[in-house]
Amino acid sequence: MQPGESYVLGRAADADLVIPWDPLVSKRHAQLVVQGSVLRVQRIAAARNPVFYEGQAVDHCEVPLGRQFVVGTTALRLEETPSEPVLQAPIEERAFNPQQLRRIRYQDPENRLEVLTHLSEVIVGAQSDAELHERLVGLMLRGVVHADAVAVVSSLHGDEVLVRHSERRRETGGALRPSRRLVFEALEHRRGSVLHVWNAEIGQATEPTLGQELDWAFCTPVAGLAEEPSGLYVTGRMGTSYVPGTTLTEGAQLEADVKFTELVAEILGAVLKAQRLERQKAGLRQFFAPPILKALGDDLDTTLLEPCECDVTVIFCDLRGFSQRAEQEAANLIGLLERVSRALGVMTHQILQHGGVTGDFQGDAALGFWGWPFPSSDAAVRACRAALGIRAAFHKAASQKGHPLADFTMGIGIAHGRAVAGKIGTEEQVKVTVFGPVVNLAQRLESMTKLLRAPILLDEAAAAIVRERMSPAEGRLRRIARVLPYGMENPVLVSELLPPLADFPELTDAHLEIFEQGVDHFTAGRWEEAYRALHAMPAADRAQDFLLHQIMQAGRVAPPQWDGIVRLPGK
């Protein structure tokens, strides 16, 4: 109690100093004010029973330090409490191991079971750590009926105790100040429940006072309750009844309380761990396919997610038609954003479905990759399956009148090579990315899809893997040209990925063979032969247009210094 402050004493829950165990105390019984070393007590007019001081019924009195007054059947004494608890060394210190706890029989099992049934709703219903601590302390006071006070405590650097939340049955007892020695012993040293008993004999009965009169306490660690070592601190006084009919008179009762608190701590720790893992998985789920999350394990070994150099296949998928639609739908940008989000969802769905990792969104483009956090010999094949899935989804949308994605198309670049892949961020929010020339190459390939008139392009390394490992029943490849992208030093042999014949009968295998013959002629400088071969392709095939344009510009004759490489004028 602070000097000069006014406190209402009564049985009501909203009283400043609550005495819920005494039926003879009114809901609002008396008003208390500390002035110097004197407590001024004034009975509230609505109180049914008087205040007793020195054996006399009074409406008001002044109680000096060390003297007591009575309300109902409860005697209260004014004492001065030091700013820090001065506790002698415990006359008994006990630590508990699982074998000992198994031999202890629960006291009051019906009440404890009823309390445990509410534990899950206490945990799940808490909207913040502070609310969890408050609700947990209240629940523990219901479950440990011998306790005067319960607190959630943390050990800070082994020399300071932080009380995150505490409650006392007797508000007149003042603020709870846990034993630093006990907290440190339980949370830092033994990392298990520790019981301290100070100066009471079992069976000794005393009345509640306004001072700190607690002679036993135990502390039980709870894993994951806070970043620092934390646990439940439970304390009370031997021989005192806080709940009618529940006086603590023997050590076995305390042992049962410790066992119950251990059970609560075990359940609470397991649920908090599950919640933490679920939050982590929720953050990772947007990046990783379910098989990768499963391989990471329930404990989420995030060391596997640290950045490392590895062989990866990168897919870069860009949405076509976005800029034009943005101009046309300037008055409905929210609607356009929803459509773009849906299109990006198609891309990420296919990436994840085929075991890939999703990286950053770059405007209306999505980045995905394979080969990290686990090596994959068929990374390029999986990337191609995802690309064909994206192409099929957009093709289907285009055939449905009024579909939100009907007027969107896409371009995809796929490249394979060395890169650095890994996570950046915090434990709660993880961002995954991939760095390296192979990422830039995938982006450049995607930009070439416009010029080369082919929706899915691969570099030479990815194409080599796909030719060896991918069945024609899944997808087909054809070489387009060897090109030198603007700003790059090394030319790239570019190939197009096509659906299988069953899904794309417009181009037969014979057509693809003729096309590659034309590419061979083109590369070798035999442009007249190249022209005739490419001119035999179906008119609907747009990829031929790029090579025919090169040939026609030069009058069907290769330049004198022709080296088989098409140098692109810009990005």
Q: Which of 308, 288, 277 is nearest to 355 (CA)?
A: 288
The mean pLDDT of 325-335, rounded to a whole number, is 63
- 48 to 6, 10, 23, 162: CA distances (angstroms): 21, 11, 11, 41
**What does the alpha-carbon distance between residue 200 and residue 146 come to, in Å, rounded to a whole number?**
15
- Split at pLDDT 50, 70, 90, the class of 304 is confident
Q: Which of 286, 292, 385 is nearest to 345 (CA)?
A: 286
Q: What is the pLDDT of residue 145?
A: 85
Q: What is the pLDDT of residue 187?
A: 92
Residue 132: count other Cβ atoms within 10 Å of its Cβ. Answer: 21
Q: What is the pLDDT of residue 176?
A: 82
Q: What is the pLDDT of residue 373?
A: 85
Sign of CA dihedral 212, 216, 222, 227: positive
Q: Give residues with Cβ within 8 angstroms of 242, minimum separation 6.
A: 21, 145, 146, 147, 148, 169, 170, 236
Q: Which of 236, 194, 190 is nearest to 213 (CA)?
A: 236
- 549 to 220, 478, 486, 555, 562: CA distances (angstroms): 79, 19, 19, 10, 16
The 10s digit of each residue's pLDDT in 350-393 is 999 999 988 877 778 899 999 988 899 999 999 999 999 999 99
Q: What is the pLDDT of residue 202?
A: 42
Q: Which of 350, 389, 345, 392 is nearest to 370 (CA)?
A: 350
The 10s digit of each residue's pLDDT in 233-263 is 999 887 766 666 666 666 677 888 898 999 9
Sign of CA dihedral 278, 279, 285, 291: negative
Ramachandran sector of residue 164 (left: φ over 0; alpha: ψ -120 to 50; beta: rest): alpha
pLDDT higher than 60, residue 76: yes
Looking at residue 68, its amino acid is: Q
Domains and CATH numbers, the chain: 5-78 (2.60.200.20), 92-276 (3.30.450.40), 310-436 (3.30.70.1230), 471-570 (no CATH)
Q: What is the mean pLDDT of the chain?
A: 85
